[in-house]
Structure 1
Amino acid sequence: MALAAPGAASATAESSTIWHWNVAGNTLNHASTTNGMVRAAVSSITARGASFASFNELCENQYDALISGLRDAGWPADDANFARFVVTYPARSGGPCGGRDFGNAIFSRQPLGAAERITLPDDGMTEQRKMLCAPLKARPHLRFCTAHLTYVDAYRAAQLNAVLARLEAYHADGDTVVIAGDFNIQADAARLNGYYSSAVNTPNNRGNTGHYHELDDADQNNCPGYGELSVSTPDPRGPCGTGSKIDMIFVREDRIAGPYSGDTLAPPTSCAGNPDGLCSDHRALIGTVTLS
């Protein structure tokens, strides 16, 4: 169910559909490009008419396969300039992805400009967490970003604060930014209070002081203020006991014009060799928003 964000209006508003998935490219899919994960992702992106798509936990060979699959499906308007990748774990013997690069990716139906690859505060792990952003070539003040944040609790706040600071710096420069990613923290966590708009004030998510809406925060039928689970199978976590939500799509409230909505998609079960055929331990997210 969609609600309008407060104070949002623009003569240049444009509707966008955002698609995001943490695909467990190494952990579950073992760097495969042929087990069904890539095919399921391409099918979902094209079927949903996505404007932007992003991936976490992606092997670089899977990224290359996604480029080929989306080109073959006729999805990008410019098939030479629609994808960007950031390495978070460089290729090395004994590393993930069979020794290939591992990281995050963004895709855009419209051509992209130069990417920014922002290193987040170190969490003491081998993988270096990063934020990846790129503007549209024809609309340089419209940026799409992804990030996959740490699960190490002692460093969560530092990385969340670094991402938010970058988003606010873009905003100060006049940019409209959409960020999608695995934040590795429950949507109602106090550490996200500086993200969520104070207009998000429900029994499931309160005490917020920020300026952003997560695109699933207005669904009155699915834990209002928190949203639907984003892990592949239900668990008893979350304020409504309906499952963990750690993957999110955020947009600043003053860049939302009119209704917005978000959902998580039933996980594909078509990936050969995986338990129950699940293609990931996360669900894909889909969000629709009119951006000013």
Structure 2
Amino acid sequence: MRRNIRRGLRLALTGALTAVLLPTSAAQAGTPAPRTYTVWQWNVAGNTIHDGSTTDGLVTQAAASIVARGADFAAFNELCQGQYSALVNELRTRGWPQDQANFARFEPSRAAGNAAVCQGEAFGNAIFSKRPLGGAARFALPDDGTAEKRNLLCAPLTDGTATRFCTTHITTSQSSNVAQLDLVHQKLEEYAASGETVLTAGDFNAQPHYGRLNTYYAPSVNTPNNTDNTGQYRELDDDDPGNCPGYGEWTADGTPGATPPCGGNAKIDHIFVRESALAGAYSADSLAVSTACTGVTACSDHRILVGTVTVK
């Protein structure tokens, strides 16, 4: 009995000493280490400019940019389903995904069958990931009364980091725009409350200084160009000192709605991450629109937005 007691004490002491000597990363094995992601976002006008074409250069230009920019995630808005399938094949050919069978998700906002849209194919949002994806979540947004049924499309990584990537394309209708923004915000907060880190990219059809984005932007973003914020999020281009601080670089041709605070065209494409998830610096740039697509003067009426962020 005495020997058993001594042996138990030795084991207890050894276990305690081992716990003290273990590095923090091992002691907190359930907590992922900080990780850096590059997010790529583009509204490609796949129907209005490309009429669903998969051979006019849109697919190759997009895939080349994703690979060249070292993107971990890519989001598309206004993409025809045939273009989505072509992008899957092109990215496979370029060796971009780690798992060639599990890296892309598509959600229509207009179903197939209308010959005037995408040559009869479905039309909507898509996400791509360099790392394997889990099952997608698809949320219908409040109806704006049009034929297009807007959605929020999300999918998690399968690597145990509790990282999720989402995209959305919010309506231009102002009253429905607010309702759709509110539902997207609600879903992002629900994911955050469950312990997930969410990166959200898309065409929000709202400029950073609009009041309806005040519940997104954190008060730490407040500048003369973007005031009265009450939210929890940072946008990856919101602190660029050379491009309208608090607002960022323009992303879309024309000036929908109010004049941008620094003039020029409007920024309506965003990449959001919750401020509490940040673990380091972040930045973003909008890229000049390619003119390499055949039969059109420009490959889109939106610029590509690329951002890099380190998260917990």
Which bracket does the TM-score occupy, shorter chain normalised?
over 0.9
C-alpha deviation, 1:180, in angstroms: 0.2
2:109 to 75, 79, 88: 88
Higher-Rg member (1/2): 2
Question: How does 1:82-121 map onto structure 2 within 5 Å?
Answer: 82-121=103-142
Q: Is the 8 A contact 2:253 2:265 kept in 1?
A: no
For the pair 1:158 / 2:158, whether they are aligned, the reply is no
Unpaired stretches in structure 1, ≥5 consecutive residues: 1-9
Mark the CA change 1:257 to 1:285 in structure 2 (over 3 Å): closer, same or farther.
same
For the pair 1:291 / 2:280, whether they are aligned, the reply is no
> What is residue 16 of structure 1 aligned with on the other side?
37
C-alpha deviation, 1:35, in angstroms: 0.4
Identical residues among aligned pairs (%) = 54
Question: How does 1:140-289 map onto structure 2 within 5 Å?
Answer: 141-232=162-253, 237-274=259-296, 276=297, 278-289=298-309
1:22 & 1:137 partners in 2: Cα distance? 26
Give the AA of the match of 2:202. G
1:107-156 Cα distance to aligned partner (Å, 9 max, x none): 00000000001000111011100000000011362100000001011211
Give the AA of the match of 2:307. G
For the pair 1:38 / 2:35, whether they are aligned, the reply is no
1:63 & 1:257 partners in 2: Cα distance? 33
Q: Is the 8 A contact 2:253 2:266 kept in 1?
A: no
2:158 & 2:96 partners in 1: Cα distance? 17
SS at match of 1:199: helix
2:305 & 2:142 partners in 1: Cα distance? 26
C-alpha deviation, 1:92, in angstroms: 1.2
Aligned residue-pair number: 281
2:73 & 2:263 partners in 1: Cα distance? 30
Give the AA of the match of 1:286. V
In angstroms, what is the RMSD of aligned CA positions? 1.5
1:11 & 1:55 partners in 2: Cα distance? 28
Give the AA of the match of 1:257. A
2:167 & 2:307 partners in 1: Cα distance? 14
Segments of 4+ moved more than 4 angstroms: 232-236
C-alpha deviation, 1:233, in angstroms: 6.8
1:212-251 Cα distance to aligned partner (Å, 9 max, x none): 0000001000000000000147899310003200000000
Unpaired stretches in structure 2, ≥5 consecutive residues: 1-30
C-alpha deviation, 1:93, in angstroms: 3.1
Between stretches 127-136 and 87-96, larger displacement belongs to 87-96
Mark the CA change 1:232 to 1:71 in structure 2 (over 3 Å): closer, same or farther.
farther
SS at match of 2:115: coil
2:248 & 2:254 partners in 1: Cα distance? 15
For the pair 1:68 / 2:89, whether they are aligned, the reply is yes
Higher relative contact order (CA 8 A, sep 6+): 1
> What is residue 3 of structure 1 aligned with on the other side?
none
2:134 & 2:161 partners in 1: Cα distance? 7
2:255 & 2:57 partners in 1: Cα distance? 22
Give the AA of the match of 1:158. A
TM-score, normalised with respect to structure 2: 0.88
> What is residue 134 of structure 1 aligned with on the other side?
155
SS at match of 1:168: helix
Give the AA of the match of 1:259. A
TM-score, normalised with respect to structure 1: 0.94
Q: Is the 8 A contact 1:25 1:57 kept in 2?
A: yes
1:89-110 Cα distance to aligned partner (Å, 9 max, x none): 0011334101101110000000
1:44-72 Cα distance to aligned partner (Å, 9 max, x none): 00000000001000000000000011000
2:42 & 2:100 partners in 1: Cα distance? 21
2:242 & 2:255 partners in 1: Cα distance? 16
Q: Is the 8 A contact 1:183 1:248 kept in 2?
A: yes
